[in-house]
Every structure is written in C-alpha cells, then in structure tokens.
Amino acid sequence: MRRKRINHQVDVFCEIFSGWKLVNDMDTLIQLKQGEFFFDIKEKDVKLNNKPFGKDFNMLFEIADWFEKDLADNNILETSILKATLIVDFKSTVFDGKPKSRTKKIIEINLKMKSSILTDEKKYFAEKEKIMEYHYIEKK
C-alpha cells in the first residue's frame, strides 16, 4: 500500500500544479515569461532559476498542505520522507484576442514538470508536460 500511495503522491504533485488553482499565480507567470521553478515541498521553499524566489507562490502551499494531509490520512510517517520536490520549467505567452470577440487576451502556459519523492527505501518520480490556455473575457 505504501509504495502505491507514494507513486500516487508524486504523480499528484504535477496534477495539482497544473490544475485550476494555478490561476492564483497567473500574474507572476505572465510577468516572469519563462524560467524554472524548484519547489522543495517538504521544506516549503521555492527557487526560480536556482536563486531564492523571495515571494510567496500559492501553488507551493497548495501542494505542501495536500501532501502533509495525505501522509497523515494514509499513516505514512513524515520522517520516512527524506525529500519531496517539484521542478517546473515554464513559458508563458500572451496573445491578443480577436477584434470582435469578447476574449481580450489569451494566455498560453507551457509546463514541463518533474516531481520526486525520496524515502528511506526508494526514489519515486514522475514527469509530465501540459499546455494550458486561459481566456480573459470582457464582462458586460
């Protein structure tokens, strides 16, 4: 059971990052345009391009909070987790919407994600790529 759960957890790191709550960090991704985030899930630390980021990144806390709860719910000791990380290579591109459309701009986010969990027994990892598109619509 433990191995299956940790395989699931390492996979879910990528899924949570690329989920709908990423919109809370959208302005940051647009401003940065591209780069590589390194998230230390266990220590709740984030680096951008190998340098301390110095700002809060909501998705780190979403993932870390879920991970802590999931470990407790499945009776997995936190001390058995030596390291839990997520590396996200991203590129954001902003396009103008069509002139007669209510869509004023389209944001495309390309994500390449690598997650890993190192336990006292084994290293688990997952890799995923996603292209996400967000439409900013003019409200009437």
Percent of the chain at pLDDT exceeding 90: 66
In a domain, 135, yes or no: no
Give domain status of residue 101, yes or no: no
Instruction: Flag whether 83 is in a domain.
Output: yes
pLDDT of residue 112: 97
- pLDDT tens for residues 10-60? 999 999 999 888 888 988 999 999 999 999 999 999 999 999 998 888 999
Residue 77 inside a domain? The answer is yes
Is 136 part of a structural domain of the chain?
no
The radius of gyration computed from the CA coordinates of the chain, to the nearest angstrom, equals 17
Q: State the CB neighbour count (10 A cutoff) for residue 67.
A: 21
Query: What confidence tier does 61 reach under pLDDT thresholds 50, 70, 90?
Result: very high
Tell me the residue range of the domain where 87 lies. Answer: 2-91+111-130
Q: Which residues contact 50 (CB under 8 A, 6 or more apart)?
A: 36, 38
Mean pLDDT of the region 49-78: 92
Question: Backbone phi, then psi, for 32, in 5-degree steps?
Answer: -75, -30
The confidence score (pLDDT) of residue 46 equals 94
Number of domains making up the chain: 1
On whether residue 139 sits in a domain, the answer given is no
Output the six-digit token pair for 71.
Answer: 């470990």
Is 21 inside any structural domain?
yes
Residue 138: pLDDT band (50, 70, 90) is low
Any domain includes 106: no
Average confidence (pLDDT) over 86-110: 88
Identity of residue 23: V
CA distance 47 to 41: 12
Question: Which pLDDT value is given to residue 81?
Answer: 93
